[in-house]
Chain A
């Protein structure tokens, strides 16, 4: 910095002074030059003249430089002028322009509801999801000098470009423990700023916060339960005491707001996190928070889940298996040029994979419930989903029935096969597939280990034999996928299974279910005993959402990730595009995962919901923004963009202002969620067993 400061005046004076003198000299000598100039056009005049002054330099080079400088100067001036104009412009100007083009905008829901007379009532707690929360550096290695308390994740991501390896190193966790590596402390940003904007201009919670503020919410009635989303849920408590902080803050909110219970709004993975929290808080210390058995009913009015992956997302599998999930690690989407760069290609993907495999939280999103929920080799609840057609809202059900009979009997995607090797395998009837069990396969010692560069993933330990065994098994359902992951990444899964579980409980009273690893799985825990509480599931529908994958072996099996999504596989009729089968959902979470628990698993008094907490499903049909000016749209149903959906915001505000689910209008369904839930054969009755 200081160097710069010192250097500047020198360059400046050397640049500008001679120029001034030159300028004056020119005027005196003008008369002599007149004759030469006549022929030359305006533009050539100056170059030719200064050429004379400078003498020896070749004309072409100089004029080029001159033109460049001139050009840059022009641009700078215009830029400054525009900047000045922009700053001098009244703040409401952009809105006028937008309104002039698109007609008057609808009132934002906050304004509209304020006119209706709604006021802030229940305190609100936000629980952000995976990747949307900011992370900042508290202690780092030398390469991260100067980044103290700067955001490593979220914000501008400037340092990803400047020192990528350093960044990856700091964002990774310890491979063994899933906690901080030695000498590095990266911590979540706290407060509303943690997740209001993910990157500048890319809102997450900001719109919702702004609308809540309209009806009177402020910092004392809102709380962002930011946590380190890389850690497993219980580890956030072990390392940062995050769960204790949330508990204490909720208690404080209730106490300072006249005993009014809080409305909790988790988004995405935050849904699972809060599920974990509700169990944790009532469990006795030391494993739990020791809040006692009625803590939830005393402190929580409603849990308004937005886009909740209750039963996991298939995307997580692709992410863990080959680091290729379309956007589970937003890193790729944010820096596509960088990651797809030819030079870095294999290395970067591996770096990303290595980094994301140290994050326990990604394992919380592996599909739960196995074949019962996600379907077997020949069956899946979404069977017959008419993907190629645009759904029509009014005739939806009849349409669906028709589709069931006609189209889908002939050819329907086998969604149950979450991973298939080759398109033919994905489509063949199950009896035709020859599978060789991979579980016993011996992993060959990898010769490649030493020759590969320092990027280490567990694939190197597998060897060719192991890779082959995986491919030989041909196709994997939700249950065997978990085994597959155990096979290809034993260390990671060993860490993961200590914190998460993916099964379905037979007997929920079994004392083993008191362990925290079951708390975030809705199929292995009971809801708290809080009959007055309400659980909402709000999610977008109408977007293509990843559901199953067609894989192939990667050609360079030596030093890179040996499996790859087969992007050449396409099939119009069965929703296969670029090697991915999709179903209805919000682009990330399939309808089944977001809606099933509220539509069936918890509906009424079931064994998962012994106290009969009321549940509501509210779906929001996606319609893309009408024009560019609208940005990400006010009717979007996409996983993150839905946070700006006016209808959803209105629902949330009404709940916060005191409305119950019934007053809101009960269920609001566009998809086939009830149909699909019907098909799932899950025992809900406790007594039936005995």
Chain B
């Protein structure tokens, strides 16, 4: 008999086993029973299951959600939403004599959480544009919920907070996105996202790790269509350049872009500074500046097993 044991996330019912009052009851969702693990006594039965009605295989909504009772309850994010909405109505009987639909009032649903639900929708849309996985979206939703409940950033636009939460979630998951990438999918300016980012870190009293050049290599290189050797070479060049402190004070994104430029120019797949600048969100003069800093020691920066299409002394010098 497969039993799921819920943790303390859902409130335990006040029934307890008569023989073992402090045993935590195990819930069998299929039969709707609460079972004492010590003696096996079925204590509560006909417990209503709040999971979804049947399995739907798509993550997002299909055209027609076949669930008759609505979505699975998401207790972590909503405020325990037990309201009923009257939907638009099908068929001729739902319209009264003037052509207006009867039962117009379908607006009032958890007004306190309406803004939060809107924000979740916005987060989902933004994340979808850059193909972020479910775990980042969930983390973003959680962060937004914490910030929203704290109310310390209440005056700020919810979209700005949502964008900043998305940025923080990507950082926390170890796959940081640049501010410019988040800007590209959000209507908020980089400045405002940066401000909200700092405020949220202060409000939640967390911190994030510093970004490194290697975090962005795989994304930038695959967007440019560079082969794996070039990507590995660029990663090595950027890391070596930072270790040798050839680029003090430069943003890691600029250093990564310059390293990609050097690696691609030394290989068969040459990319121009403009192309790399477009992908990385860096101006091509910035790439030029960082490239000038790493060019003098180019020979040491390449990995030892790199196959040069263009030798080091023939690398472009700008």
**Mutual binders A and B:** no
